[in-house]
Structure 1
Amino acid sequence: MDSIMAYIKKYDKLFEVSPSRKARDLAIKYGFLDYMIERYLDMFKDSTKDFLDSCGYPLKKSIRCNTLKISCDKLVNELKKKGFYLKKVDWLPHGYEVLSYPKSPSLGATIEYLKGYYYIQGLASMIPAYVLNPSSSDFVLDMAAAPGGKTTQLSQLMENKGKIIAVEKSRKRIRALESNINRLGATNILIVRTDATVLKKSNFRFTKILLDAPCSGEGLIPIDQSRKTRTSILDLRNFFITQLNLISTAFSLLDDNGRLVYSTCSIAPEENEAVINFAIENLGMKPIKISEFPGCKGITEFHGIKFSEELKNCLRLYPHKHGTEGFFICLLQK
């Protein structure tokens, strides 16, 4: 805890943002909080307007075929009969864009959906499980499991073998987690209702951990316009503190030489590179380069602060560059 507090103090400058006139003008034009725009100007430079424009357009719907229950070719054919036309995403083994769909039924009301043949999931959101790449012999921890998209994807990749501990502290969110696990036929998952940080007191040690951390959701603005104004700079700092505690917990629960995937649906460096930088500086973890998926390198300098050069091994996705929700993924080895 002392090391976390010292780290927060060292990097508190990240949360001291004074919006420029340009940032204030763009904030009024696009409907964002002005501190957010100031950060985007730092991150995107000349392509800031491209990013802001892209946030105003909805993303294509996408699904993950659940091979625990059906082959992808059969699913494509079954949905085509109902008027859904799918396009395979080259860089996702089970990912499909929905190019067109009928007026009825909706994507979440087909017989195939109810039978668990597919899960409605953002393209970037599918990447973390593939990066973690669990095998049938792994003992896996999903530290923030609800609603279960990534948890059931891990189960799919493990072919319902091995064991997954799915942690969720919210009783309400556990209902959705249980529903999706049952619907998709994932049978190697044990749900534990607790705060993930409590697991530090346990004797569990995992070969692989997925930490899809609670975050601001700043990458989901194309899906939810309210996120343009939802998160204050103080909220962002609180997320940062929570994420530091979670990644510290993950480190303590990981086997030696074990692997951890840290991901968020946020593009905020404060929630991403600043957290991974802590894992490098304070925990001695090593980021492993992710090369199988499209994306930009992690940021090594932000708001006048330099981070570890190893952060280049992390992966960032953006709506204006990759046509996905904004997302961050980093693979770390203990």
Structure 2
Amino acid sequence: MTSNVRALAAQVLTPLLQNKGSLNTQLPAIERRCPEKDRALLRELCYGTMRHHPQLNCIIKLLQNRAFKFRDIDIKAIVLLGLYQLQHTRIPAHAAISESVEACRDLDKEWAGKVVNAILRRFQREQEELIDSLSDNESYQFNHPEWMIAKLKNNWPDHWQQILKANNEQAPLTLRINALKTDRERYLTQLEPIVDAEKTEFSPTGIRLSTSLNIESLPGYEEGAFSVQDEAAQLSAQLLDLQAGQTVLDACAAPGGKLCHLLESEPALASVDAVELEERRAGRIEENLERLDLDANVIIADASHQEWWDGTLYDRILLDAPCSATGVIRRNPDIKYLRQGEDIHETSKLQLSILENCWSMLKPGGKLLYATCSIFPQENERQIKRFIAQTDNVTEIKIDAPWGIAREHGRQLFPQINRHDGFYYALLEKQSKLTKTATLPPLAAVKG
């Protein structure tokens, strides 16, 4: 078992480069094998390399004589990791190169050490000229895959560069205060001696920290005083307008952040069902509910089908639909590599299937909040437009709010540097017959 951090990082990235898994699924097991003192470096190497993968891959193409064979993708991972260290970290060049060569031995590919050494030393010598030669390469310039850049240009001609820039930055650490345990003012006072923090602008329960740290070390973690949740995701509870005695469905609930926020926002709900397809992810919901001392009925099932449903109609439904997750790339930088343009079409079909199924479970007069962490209209406003066009008993409640931008249907948030993620919301009300569009009262921004 190797303790070489670069070799361990290569073992995390190799499945990703073979289109298997993600950082979220591959890193935890490898992290447990890493000496505790090196775990922060391991995460930095893995996340940093995938954050800059489009640029690093452009450089590799200039440096290598032939593409790496599939069986040697682990060596490509070593080169990517080495280039990331040379270009984006303060690790001394000699250490980055020598440790990368040593990692080849730890991967039982000692022969590859010479290849890795030659590529990295050539980059070290010719870095300026190589980067100059990529000045007209948009994938290098914007650090995104070409298909994504083209799609954003087409979808958001006035915003695409802002989106790409925000995607390349690290996201802030944002907390959601559990209103059943504490309040924002009190918790900010508790944080004062530990870390600089500020209120979020649009969520009345949000606190944004100035730096990332171990959340388990913060006061009240074990007691459930807070959860980690981006500000954009915190808006869902406010939009659903929950009332005591209502029945609620969270249709795609894992990992349970929005579900727990609903329960914190209105503790007198009659019942709450949380549906999740994957047993592993459903376990995350149970863990969050337990830590926060909350209760919901967690159901492992497919939200696009009804085998699990007992026929009782819901007053409120939250549908946080499966999507490309392109609004949270800065938190999951491997999305740049793992997503392909054709994925959007398949995802949109699944979204519509779940939306139609959930709509049949909603009471007349009930509300459904459609949400995604995507910035592509195909998964968002166009999906809602299509659903409204084919559904007779639906009215859209227009969201008048100080965040995001109003669209023909719903409201779109883009990722903001040092602020919220990209997100989309649309609020629908079920009618017994077709009625005109309603308007939601303005949601006042929380200031001060």
Deviation of 1:110 (Å): 2.9
Number of the residue aligned with 2:17: none
Q: TM-score, normalised by structure 2?
A: 0.62
CA distance 1:274–1:44, change in 2 (3 Å): closer
Number of the residue aligned with 2:405: 296
Structure 1: state its 5+ residue gaps.
1-23, 299-308
User: In the alignment, is the contact (CA less than 8 A) between 1:197 and 1:246 conserved in 2?
Assistant: yes
Deviations 1:20-77 (A, max 9, x none): xxxx942342232222211211222244222212211112211100012223333222
Number of the residue aligned with 1:318: 414
The size of the alignment, in residue pairs, is 293
User: In the alignment, is the contact (CA less than 8 A) between 2:237 and 2:258 conserved in 1?
Assistant: yes
Give distance in 1, aligned partners of 2:198 and 2:205: 11
Letter in 1 for 2:160: T
Tell whether 2:379 aligns with 1:283. Answer: no
More strand by share: 1
User: In the alignment, is the contact (CA less than 8 A) between 1:287 and 1:331 conserved in 2?
Assistant: yes
Deviations 1:196-253 (A, max 9, x none): 1233764121011000011111111122222123211222111111101010011101
CA distance 1:279–1:322, change in 2 (3 Å): farther
Letter in 2 for 1:61: L
Number of the residue aligned with 2:20: none
The equivalent position to 2:246 in structure 1, one of 138, 147, 150, is: 138
Give distance in 1, aligned partners of 2:377 and 2:226: 32
Number of the residue aligned with 1:95: 206
The equivalent position to 1:198 in structure 2, one of 301, 305, 312, is: 305
Structure 2: state its 5+ residue gaps.
1-135, 431-448
Tell whether 2:349 aligns with 1:237. Answer: no
Which protein has greater RCO, CA pairs closer than 8 Å, 6+ apart?
A: 1
Q: SS in structure 2 opposite 1:198?
A: coil
Number of the residue aligned with 1:147: 255
Q: SS in structure 2 opposite 1:330?
A: strand
Number of the residue aligned with 2:138: 26
CA distance 1:297–1:26, change in 2 (3 Å): farther
Bigger CA radius of gyration: 2
Q: SS in structure 2 opposite 1:233?
A: coil
Deviation of 1:118 (Å): 0.2
Give distance in 1, aligned partners of 2:280 and 2:314: 26
Letter in 2 for 1:297: A
Q: TM-score, normalised by structure 1?
A: 0.82
Runs (4+) of structure 1 exceeding 6 A deviation are: none
CA distance 1:25–1:106, change in 2 (3 Å): same
